[in-house]
Amino acid sequence: MAVSQPGADAQAGYVGVGALNVQFLSEAQNVPRKGVIIGTYDETTKTEIVENQPYLVTSEADVGDKFGFGFMVYRLAKAWFLGAGGIETWVIPQKEAATPGYAQGSITVTVTTAEAGTIYLYIAGESVQVSVADGDSDSDIATAIETAINADTTLPVKATAALGVVTIDANSAGLYGNYINLSDSWGFGEDLPVGVTLAYVQPTGGTGVPDIQDALDAIGIDDEQNSPYFTELLHGYMQDSTTLDTLSAWNGVGNDFVGNYGKIVARPLRSLGGDTAVGSGGLSSLITLGDGRKQDRTQGILAAPGSPNHPQEIAGQALGIEARINNTRAAEHYTGKPLIGVIPGDAADRWTSSYTNRDTALKSGISSTKFDGSSLILTDIATFYHPDNVLPASNGYALQVNISKIQNVTNSVKLNFQQEKWQGIFIVADVSTVTNTVDNQKARDKQAVENDIIALARSWQSHGWIYDAEFTIDRIKTGNYVQIRAGNTGFDITIPILLSGAGRIYDSTVEFDTSISILNG
């Protein structure tokens, strides 16, 4: 016979007891990382796609199936998943701008007497191998290049050969195509076959940028802005100033409660773009860009000067690495993490090989990479934020890892006071005076608020998000950081914290002597 549990309408007498798991203590949890990728797609083939609508995706292949292999959102997703792994990911597809321009370049083949070998062609940093036979003509080789490129549908271009010239057309319009690099022979031992030379015209002519605001509106407006709580945003619109300004304003400019940093919203995200410009000119341009965006605490630029990989795809992998690492440990930074498949530029082009240059760039809000002898690695991942009136030592928005900590701290406070224990409360001077057992359950005073903040501070310290919980606790206990609002309508709470540091500098000195007299006392 089944045993039924007595309900609220039971009348027969009984003595019952049970256990229910209910959260009473204030405990902070990591905000689950969630990425969103914004860019254009294959409008011609994927006619069922609704633009500016978020789509959940599970892998690089899933993005290709949904939006078209070789198009912008696919290429961005390919790079993102390489860094992010299984982090929850969404795509917001956008149609091309009203009058799109598609970048176009070319490869011109010149042959004297070709000997058999392999052309190691690179399209946006990805290897395309082309076989050459003895005696092949320039037209033969150009046709072979066309066939090899078009056989790889994941590449961001299509090729057309005629009379020894291969015309390269970007799949996606806009600035994105202007940064598709055409080159060869980047790997060890890779050389063009004897008798074969290639001349490149790098793609240009890509114009037109969709309005990213339309995509941002798709994930919430007003108080519901960023309601899915995306923590990372990747787009394919390069350093387009309108895009950068729009995204920065939407997330919240400066050290103010605006945008996603608004108190009611409290769901900020971070974004990263890329740059491969070379030499002192590349560094100078980035410094100008960074110094012009001193109030931008949302975005940053990662430099990999001279790399043939697409700069936005380099940034996409790096942003994915950030998400994957911070999904487990919000306080861990990214220095030394390798970028898989990203080719370092030639030594002469890498301004990042100088510590002075990297330090100068960082002070202007520019992130950089470094070649460690085997791969390109991340160094400091920063935001543009560096106002003149904020000392570098106090600039909490400067490093992107600090945004991760801020996301977690603010989210835990919001979730704490959304608990059932804080819903429907009434405020009194001292909860101990509310002696009725039922009424006491919803009575709250300043001390109750302080107790929760103290518990949260200890939890933040246990995760390493803050430097020292006692700093917060001492001030909460001794100061007026919790105040009852006029009319007893709620609490005004200020929570002072010191974020944990990002250990990136190890300045050691080894002292040595050659005299052994010290050994003899």
Separation between Cα atoms, residue 203 and residue 224, nearest integer Å: 41
Instruction: Give mean pLDDT, residues 88-103.
Output: 97
Phi, psi (rounded to 5 degrees) for 135? 80, 5
List, for residues 407-426, the tens digit of each pLDDT value. 999 999 999 999 999 999 99
Quickly state the pLDDT bin for 13 (edges 50, 70, 90).
low
Instruction: Look up residue 380 and give its two tokens.
Output: 């400091």
Q: Are 282 and 275 a contacting pair, CB within 8 Å?
A: yes
State the Cα–Cα distance between residues 410 and 250, nearest whole angstrom. Answer: 18
What pLDDT score was predicted for residue 519?
74
What is the DSSP-derived secondary structure letter of residue 207?
A: B
DSSP single-letter state for residue 497: -
Architecture of the structural domain at 104-204: Sandwich (2.60)
- The arithmetic mean of pLDDT across residues 106-121, rounded, is 97
pLDDT at 28: 82
Instruction: State the pLDDT confidence band at 506, using cuts at 50, 70 and 90.
Output: confident
Structural contact between residues 404 and 326, judged by C-beta atoms closer than 8 angstroms = yes
Locate 399 and state its tokens. 């490093």
- pLDDT at position 469: 96
Ramachandran region, residue 229 (left: φ > 0; alpha: ψ -120 to 50; beta: rest): left
Cβ-in-10-Å burial (0-12, 13-18, 19+) of 513 comes to exposed
Distance CA 29, CA 460 (A): 9
Cα–Cα separations (whole angstroms), residue 520 to 511, 515, 516:
19, 10, 7
- The first and second tokens of residue 232, run together, are 């990372």
Q: Do residues 166 and 159 lie in contact, with contact meaning Cβ atoms separated by under 8 Å?
A: yes
Q: What is the dihedral of CA 317, 321, 323, 325, to 10 degrees?
A: 170
Confidence of residue 24 (pLDDT cuts 50, 70, 90): very low
| pLDDT score for 4 | 56
Which of these, 332, 288, 282, lies nearest to 303 by C-alpha position?
282
Quote the CA–CA distance of 418 and 96 in Å, as a whole number.
41
Tell me the C-alpha distance between 271 and 296, whole Å.
11
| Per-residue pLDDT reduced to its tens digit, 313-330 | 999 999 999 999 999 999
Helix boundaries (H) for 152-274: 212-217, 241-251
Q: What is the pTM of this model?
A: 0.92
Provide the residue ranges of all domains of the chain, joining segments of one domain with +.
34-95+212-403, 104-204, 417-521
